[in-house]
């Protein structure tokens, strides 16, 4: 028996969190705005299906871009665009598990489906998809609330 079994609680596998989007939400029957929130899981190695899908894409196309030892701003922007394209393709199937408050152009709530999610992600500005991607890639964002944040850890260490 391991003395360190308690460390399994730090594995983000299977944990869902709610991610608030910086967009206007749908309106409920009372006319009140419902915040636009995604129900998401980790986009990393703890998510085997997502990781396998990314590996499959990379095996077919090769890495999005090979950046040398001194990447230019253009190299980085091209890599980000390609990664956003992959995230828009894979997130509806493997990362986003549901939503609330997502509205159509008339402000009416849209029921979650993989196809609706794909259409929604295609319509979102790149910067919002990028922020979502960065959040989803960080395992710390999927740990229980009781876990200290990086700032709290630094403060405890006196930094």
Residues of the domain holding 85: 12-149
Structural domain contains residue 85: yes
The whole-number pLDDT of residue 2 equals 75
Structural domain contains residue 101: yes
Structural domain contains residue 36: yes
DSSP conformation letters of 112-145 = --HHHHHHHHHHS-HHHHHHHHHHHH-GGGGS-T
Q: What distance in Å separates the CA atoms of residue 99 and residue 109, rounded to the nearest whole number?
A: 10
Structural domain contains residue 3: no
Q: Number of H helices and number of E strands within the chain?
A: 5, 3
The whole-number pLDDT of residue 99 equals 97
Structural domain contains residue 122: yes
Structural domain contains residue 157: no
Instruction: Tell me the pLDDT of the chain (159 aa) as tens digits.
Output: 578 888 888 888 888 999 999 998 988 889 888 899 999 999 999 999 999 999 998 888 765 556 667 778 887 788 888 899 999 999 999 999 999 999 999 888 999 999 999 999 999 999 999 999 999 999 989 987 756 656 565 566 665
Q: How many domains does the chain have?
A: 1
Structural domain contains residue 139: yes
Structural domain contains residue 155: no
Burial state string for 63-97 with b = 16 or more CB within 10 A and e = fewer than 16 = ebbeeeeeeeeeeeeebeeebbebbbbbbbebbbe
């Amino acid at each position: 028996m391991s003395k360190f079994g308690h460390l399994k609680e730090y594995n983000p596998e299977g944990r869902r969190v709610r991610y608030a989007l910086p967009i206007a939400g749908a309106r409920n029957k009372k006319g009140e705005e419902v915040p636009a929130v995604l129900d998401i899981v980790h986009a990393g190695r703890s998510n085997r299906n997502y990781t396998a899908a990314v590996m499959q894409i990379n095996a077919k196309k090769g890495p999005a871009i090979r950046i040398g030892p001194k990447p230019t701003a253009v190299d980085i922007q091209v890599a980000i665009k390609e990664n956003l394209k992959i995230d828009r393709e894979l997130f509806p199937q493997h990362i986003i598990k549901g939503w609330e408050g997502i509205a159509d152009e008339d402000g009416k709530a849209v029921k979650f489906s993989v196809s609706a999610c794909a259409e929604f992600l295609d319509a979102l500005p790149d910067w919002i998809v990028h922020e979502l991607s960065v959040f989803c890639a960080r395992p710390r964002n999927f740990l229980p609330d009781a876990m200290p944040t990086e700032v709290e850890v630094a403060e405890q260490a006196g930094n």
